[in-house]
Amino acid sequence: MTPIRKPGLSLLAAAVFSTGLSAAPAPALSQNLFDMLFGGPVRRERSYPPQPRQPAPPQRQRKVAAPKITGPSYYSYKPDALVKVDFSGLPSTTQAVPDGAEGGSDGFTAALVHLAGFDLYAEKDVAKALVEHYGANPDFAFVEGMHVGARGQQALDVLRDAARHGLDPADYTVEPPSSAYSSADPDGRRRDLVRFEMRLAARLLRYASDVHRGRINPNRISGYHDLPVKEMDMAGLLRDLSTSTDVAGRLARLEPRADEYRILMAELEALEAADENEIVVDPETFLRPGGSSPEFPKLLKLIERQADDAFRAEHGPLLAAWWSSETYDKSLVPLIKAAQKANDLNPDGVIGPRTVEALAGVTKADRIERVIIALEQLRWLPSDLGDTRVFINAAGFEATYRENGAEKLSMRVVVGTKANQTSFFYDEIERVEYNPYWGVPKSILVNEMLPRLRSDPGYLDRAGYEVTDSSGRRIPSSAINWSQYGSNIPYNVRQTPSERNALGELKIMFPNKHAIYMHDTPQKNLFERDTRAYSHGCVRLADPRGMAAAVLGKPIAHVEEKLGKGHSSESVERKIPVYVAYFTAWPNASGTVGYHGDVYGRDARVRSALDRTGEERRPTG
């Protein structure tokens, strides 16, 4: 048999002899042979240290268009639609009325037949309560015999006095039947009386609802309003009114019990009786020390008029000496600064539009409007605000702490910008966090940080932020391709405690869906400004240590000690409500109503909602 020849070996032999490799050492020849058999190079190679394996080039990531997270919005207000009261479920009879029973249950039942064809429109819960009450209690509540009874007269007086509360009397108009009637037509009289009874009961329940929880539902104004609607037992209230000897007293129990409500009512009454302000100052007046203006003596007159005894004792001689001067002499700077401070303005001694507005105020009509809106808004809050509470008035840029009915602390605050408004709600304080972390809200991460991270992914690493994934693992910011994410970023970002931390040295928590709380800030200079709307919605405190000590019921030294021990949290053991509100007219600690600018433009929206509610109610029976 002829053996099989292997071409590779013949070629190899030829190569060896032709290149003179027969003299090469055996190991080299073996290596070359191995290379040739298994695809390696024929030439000898140098020995190099092992090189790291180069990663495959990354695939191009899809770049997502820059997203934007929008905040709450304002709505076109829709009032409650009225419904026609369905009296068909009430028991009625066509039997003759027994003698002497005209106003009794028999007379009432017989009179119900006259509700046929009577169109009475009311709010849905009011209509339901009317049928429920009179079905269970078939008798007149406000009629006695063939006349309006004493209880009915009391009810009419309350409704006619609705304007005292800033309510519109037209919403509650009820014309009583004439006291004169023909005895020859008792059936016609019963018709007038039973229809009057139903109309009065419906308007009383409307009034009761309005004075207790407001004419409008604030949550339909905007997403910034977050206030639970107060519950009311309408049928139970009507039952109480039908047997009460003091209708006014029973209805008064539904009014807000806060001192501020009484003060605002008194302010409204005083404004209605007052003459229009005869001193009118140009609202664009601007005056520095040494300057002159014909508006200046008007301002001095207003300062003198508004001054209390302590102010007059200190600055009275200056006022007397310069009261007619058009020149703002430098000696008057302490006087102007004191007037600015008394009106919670930055006491810089420069007279500008904010100082003019605070001293000259707005027109009488504007003040009345602000008080009416303040009364309405106060009815949205709990009837009893609590003797111990924190109250934040975003419109006034102020936070106060009251304990056992007495104001213990008041300070300036910075609130949300017009684009990032501070919401209107209330909650309960839970804890104080010292040297806090700042969990960056998604809206800030997406709207403000993401554009920079797309071009500078390591920005968060350098600025003292921590990035974690959904399982809590730390991820370097620089390792993330931020360009591939839109509004749904799968990472959490928080700023570690430091002097640069946006929350400063502490925050006071009352967890809510708006992610709003009170906190310190490194930007102390903002508290010196008159208009202080600069935050993303949270409330920055001028005296955070003072507020923390107040709600904890501890001395300032305790707060300072906790701050010196690093990051920690301390629970507030007492139940302290916090109101994050918005009032352009609000009483101060001395009981004087202060007027504030409408930085968010909300008063006009409340007025629009009130007007639409009135329009819905007008064509009613």
Q: Tell me the pLDDT tens digit for each residue of 484-508.
A: 998 899 999 999 999 889 999 999 9
Q: Residue 212 has what pLDDT?
A: 98
Judge whether 534 and 524 are in contact, CB under 8 Å: no
> H-type helices in 386-463, by residue range?
442-444, 450-455, 459-462
- Who contacts 7 (Cβ-Cβ below 8 Å, separation ≥6)? none
Mean pLDDT, the chain, rounded, equals: 87
Sign of the Cα pseudo-torsion (512, 515, 519, 524, in order): negative
* Strand extents, DSSP E, 73-179: 83-84, 121-122, 143-144, 147-148
Using one digit for the tens of pLDDT, what is the confidence trace for 295-314?
999 999 999 888 888 888 99
127 — phi, psi (to 5°)? -60, -40
Pairing of strands 518-519, 539-541: parallel
Q: How confident is the model at residue 29 (pLDDT cuts 50, 70, 90)?
A: very low
Q: How confident is the model at residue 18 (pLDDT cuts 50, 70, 90)?
A: very low
User: Does the pLDDT value for residue 467 go beyond 70?
Assistant: yes
Judge whether 581 and 377 are in contact, CB under 8 Å: yes
Judge whether 357 and 269 are in contact, CB under 8 Å: no
Report the interhelical angle of 259-273 vs 364-378 (nearest 10°): 160
Using one digit for the tens of pLDDT, what is the confidence trace for 566-577?
999 999 999 999
Q: Residue 55 has what pLDDT?
A: 52
Order of strands across the sheet that contains 438-439: 438-439, 492-495, 465-468
pLDDT (average), residues 359-375: 91
Domains of the chain: 1-46 (no CATH), 83-268 (no CATH), 282-360 (1.10.101.10), 380-464+495-608 (2.40.440.10)
pLDDT (average), residues 432-443: 95
If you ran DSSP here, which 8-state letter would residue 592 be given? P
If you ran DSSP here, which 8-state letter would residue 201 be given? H
Instruction: Say which residue the tokens 């394996």 belong to.
Output: 53
User: What is the three-state SS of 512-579?
Assistant: CCCCCCEECCCCHHHHHCCCCEEECCCEEECCHHHHHHHHHCCCHHHHHHHHCCCCEEEECCCCCEEE
Closest CA to 577 of 380, 420, 342, 382: 382
User: Does the pLDDT value for residue 596 go beyond 60?
Assistant: yes
DSSP secondary structure string, 298-345? HHHHHHHHH--HHHHHHHHHHHHHHTT-SB--GGGHHHHHHHHHHTT-
User: Does the pLDDT value for residue 47 go beyond 70?
Assistant: no
pLDDT (average), residues 183-208: 92
Highest mean pLDDT among 144-153, 340-349, 541-550: 541-550
Judge whether 35 and 27 are in contact, CB under 8 Å: no
Q: Which of 2-11, 70-79, 197-206, 425-434 has the lowest mean pLDDT?
A: 2-11
Q: How confident is the model at residue 4 (pLDDT cuts 50, 70, 90)?
A: very low
**What's the rounded Cα separation, in Å, for the pair 421 and 73?**
10
